[in-house]
Structure 1
């Protein structure tokens, strides 16, 4: 097996970004233009995992790693940091956040205990990095670029750690009814958009309280709808778009019944 070599990968990236002999496409990129590709590659990794396609996962992990190398190279060119600095910072963080492995040797009782310890250490790091003029918040560090449902769940989990949480799930369910009523009472588009945002935020909390990842649940819901809709189109044939809604619904019910068998 070939020895793992980040140096080789970094050399390839440097050649692609060479000012005189590099690739024209790579040369005109910057952090902003590459960021969407980074996000896309992360989702392609997730899709390969969902499909349990290990050959595809190997390829997609490579593509994601290349994004790290690309950003690191651009940062090095600008005099900020290099790939080696990224790897070193990561190693130091992993060692710092796992004192039970690399520190005093005290073992965590279970995964949940270790997760709590991880979050405690992260909170200490955020506090240490805070500017005096900007008070540290329990919500600091939840990236704004996350998918909205994922970010909602993370914000709610952070708030819960400092006690801002309903005592039981019935409080969340009551809040959902309240927000739906406010949506129904909205009188203009802007107000309705605001209220549907509140509904979705509470739904994310309801999912979290039941131990369900809302982003994963919605992704599964999307996949189920897509699968059933395509099956419905296949049953109905090319005339499907011209069918009345009740006829389309009949095909939908056929597909659902076939899945249950």
Structure 2
């Protein structure tokens, strides 16, 4: 008489996916199993989901591989539910055992019960940040104000990584910048009228959908210029601002502030409202050296170039506001 062939199926799941959202193949394996085992008890979400479906899960606190292999040798079909970490130690034991005895009288299969979707590791970031906020003395002391300098620092380091073209460096710096978003969001949770990371994410998702009607709606946009025009029109309707200059962060570096104000002022001031000197540069390649030369001249005259430009931008802003109220 031929002994029935046993088998072992090890199920790997993602802790970032809702418990019970398993593949069809995994549920079929669970339902067909003679026994289901796990190191965790009913408190483990996946174990709880399987028990909730009417199946029995045995909590194995001793050597998992001995339990699995003994059952398989006896001709039983057994399924193992791994923990959140995927139980790499058990997987190594399984691999070593199969290498030592490749002709064992049972099959071993690794089943992926659930898969991470793009962005799933963001859930890990939220969980880690929450734990740090609850258990790390330094993280507990931080406020929006105390973190402001780090946000600025990480922003500049990200810009530097972009300038160097080093993608590995950029990945790292974007991670540091993302941490600032998660950190500020977690701090806000502690306020009675605060918000959560889900509120932040939901807000930007809704904004992107509203401002891209050519993608999510029925509006036509033939080119990038039309997209930008739609964006500004929708933004103006949403913000209900009294001036085109509202919303420009005054803390921007002077050059970035000048660019923003000039762009907005063009919507209000006529082209000849601010007579300009004849341009001294003829190509984009000459702009950088020309700016550097102006800064050099400012240093020679003992003038703070940053403040001088900021003052000039302020005067232009006054012209814009005067034109808007005229």
Residue 174 of structure 1: how far off its partner (Å) = 6.5
**C-alpha displacement at 1:137, in angstroms?**
1.2
Q: More strand by proportion, 1 or 2? A: 2
Match of 1:17 in 2: 133
Question: Cα offset for 1:14?
Answer: 1.0
TM value normalised by structure 2: 0.49
Query: 1:126·1:140 contact (CA, 8 Å) conserved in 2?
Result: no
Aligned residues: 176
Cα distance between partner residues in 2 of 1:137 and 1:57: 36
Match for residue 73 of structure 1 among 169, 186, 191: 186
The answer as to whether partners of 1:149 and 1:201 remain within 8 angstroms in 2 is no
- Residues 142, 154 of structure 1: 8 Å contact kept: yes
1:45 is the counterpart of 2:152: no
- 4+ residue segments displaced more than 4 Å: 192-196
Aligned residue in 2 for 1:157:
263
User: How much does 1:78 deviate?
Assistant: 0.8
Structure 2 CA distance for aligned equivalents of residues 96 and 200 of structure 1? 36
Deviations 1:113-136 (A, max 9, x none): 222221222211210xx5xxxxx1
1:144 to 250, 258, 262: 250
Partner of 2:209: 95
Aligned to 2:170: 57
Closer, same or farther: CA 195–83 of 1 in aligned 2, 3 Å: closer
In the alignment, what sits opposite 1:186?
Answer: none
Question: In 2, Cα distance between the equivalents of 1:34 and 1:151?
Answer: 23
2:129/2:182 contact within 8 Å kept? yes
SS in 2 for 1:172: coil
Compute the displacement of 1:200 (Å): 7.1
| Residue number among 111, 121, 139 corresponding to 1:5 in the alignment | 121
Query: Does structure 2 retain, via aligned residues, the 8 Å contact 1:13–1:73?
Result: yes
CA 1:193/1:50 → structure 2, altered by over 3 Å: closer, same or farther? closer
TM-score (normalizing by structure 1): 0.60
1:1-261 pair list within 5 angstroms: 3=117, 4-18=120-134, 22-79=135-192, 80-106=194-220, 108-127=221-240, 136-162=242-268, 164-167=269-272, 171-173=275-277, 197=308, 201=312
Aligned mates of 2:195, 2:136 — CA distance in 1 = 22
Change over 3 Å in CA distance of 1:116–1:28 after alignment to 2: same
Q: 1:9 to 1:137 in 2, by over 3 A?
A: same
Aligned partners of 1:138 and 1:159 also within 8 Å: yes
Q: Which runs of 5+ in 2 are unaligned?
A: 1-114, 281-301, 317-326
Aligned CA distance change for structure 1 residues 161 and 27 (closer, same or farther; 3 Å):
same
> Which consecutive unaligned segments of at least 5 residues does structure 1 have?
131-135, 177-188, 206-261
User: Which structure carries more relative contact order (alpha carbon 8 Å, separation 6+)?
Assistant: 2
